[in-house]
Structure 1
């Protein structure tokens, strides 16, 4: 493929600038072809008109050299135009193919990163199955379905039963607790302060253990 700007070493170097240059060259060729057609039109012969009279002698009413030159140049330029159109099509195809491959690679890397993050997360030991509107838990951003991996000093490693969480809550009234959960496959952190409110308990949510 004949690329402008010296970018013939490989597909990886094809850019939109190369395509733009090819299109500019195509436009220049089309302008030249039109100019030569104008010459033929001025002479009144066109591309196929006869250059000899009825007796077979060169016509004296036209500029034979100018016409032959114009016809020859039109033929050459049309070949150039066909070739550059093929170059443009090929360049666009390769450019689009490379962009598609890059998008697919980016998507694959994003999926791999998401999987790595998911694998790196601790296993949850409890799950939130109810959150009351207007409660401390609701205000902290806790949601139904959140899988708990850290609740204050309680974590996956030291959790034994729900009494561990109850004990932390009772001893932390009015004090913020760091709560970490897994939500939609990603880790989310929030600050939850156990405190008296209009409803029951200090949290306003229900937490159940996760079967291991």
Structure 2
């Protein structure tokens, strides 16, 4: 009775450990073949040399049993070698196919995540161009390149210019502000407290608007 695709046993996945095991078996077979070739060389014959003399009698100058055993074993081992090479090729094919499928899945998931972020993340209205070491902005964790989507009460809906941010900063000295930025394609929430420090201003960073 013909088996349907649903009833067919699935081909087991190959792992790198499986490939290493098969290669080890191949190497062992090759060592055995070479050992039996050495036997034939010691006897002064190869795979094809005649084992009878000119009169048709078995040669007395060689070990006939040792030679025939070596020849037969070499033939069997060569068949085993061909079979193991086929197994290695199939295992490598499965391994490469699995790695290719994994890369495809990872790339698809990355694209889907990027598309989802583009849909869910609000547009940034300003970008941090520089952060001075030791400043309140630096201590809070603000980084150069952060794209601002929320700065206290300022958001994409009410932002008009950097003066909006400057106004919030001036009225929030000593008070923590919630700042949300896009960093590496993901949201990062920062608690930033404008305050006096050794440098100029209350933040120690430069924020420029992003043209719309």
Instruction: Pick which of 73-82 and 39-48 moved more.
Output: 39-48
Instruction: Pick which of 147-156 and 24-33 moved more.
Output: 24-33
Counterpart check, 1:203 vs 2:203: yes
Q: How does 1:68-83 map to 2 (within 5 A)?
A: 68-83=68-83
SS at match of 2:149: strand
Question: Deviations along 1:17-44, whole A, 9 cap, x unmatched?
Answer: 3223322332342343234334434444
Flag the 1:41–1:211 CA change in 2: closer, same or farther, 3 A.
closer
CA RMSD of aligned residues (A): 3.2
User: Would the aligned equivalents of 1:130 and 1:144 in 2 still touch at CA under 8 Å?
Assistant: yes
For residue 99 of structure 1, what is the aligned residue in structure 2? 99
User: Would the aligned equivalents of 1:118 and 1:186 in 2 still touch at CA under 8 Å?
Assistant: no
For residue 17 of structure 1, what is the aligned residue in structure 2? 17
User: Would the aligned equivalents of 1:140 and 1:191 in 2 still touch at CA under 8 Å?
Assistant: yes
Which sections of structure 2, spanning at least 5 residues, go unmatched?
1-8
For residue 5 of structure 1, what is the aligned residue in structure 2? none
Flag the 1:162–1:76 CA change in 2: closer, same or farther, 3 A.
closer
1:205 Cα deviation (Å)? 4.1
1:180 Cα deviation (Å)? 1.2
SS at match of 2:58: coil
For residue 89 of structure 2, what is the aligned residue in structure 1? 89
For residue 124 of structure 1, what is the aligned residue in structure 2? 124
Flag the 1:191–1:89 CA change in 2: closer, same or farther, 3 A.
same
CA distance in 2, matches of 1:131, 1:19: 52
| Length-normalised TM-score, structure 2 | 0.74
How many residue pairs are counted as aligned between the two chains? Answer: 204
CA distance in 1, matches of 2:181, 2:74: 73
1:134 Cα deviation (Å)? 5.1
SS at match of 1:169: helix
1:149 Cα deviation (Å)? 1.1
Q: How does 1:51-66 map to 2 (within 5 A)?
A: 51-66=51-66
Question: Deviations along 1:39-59, whole A, 9 cap, x unmatched?
Answer: 434444332222111222222
Flag the 1:100–1:134 CA change in 2: closer, same or farther, 3 A.
same
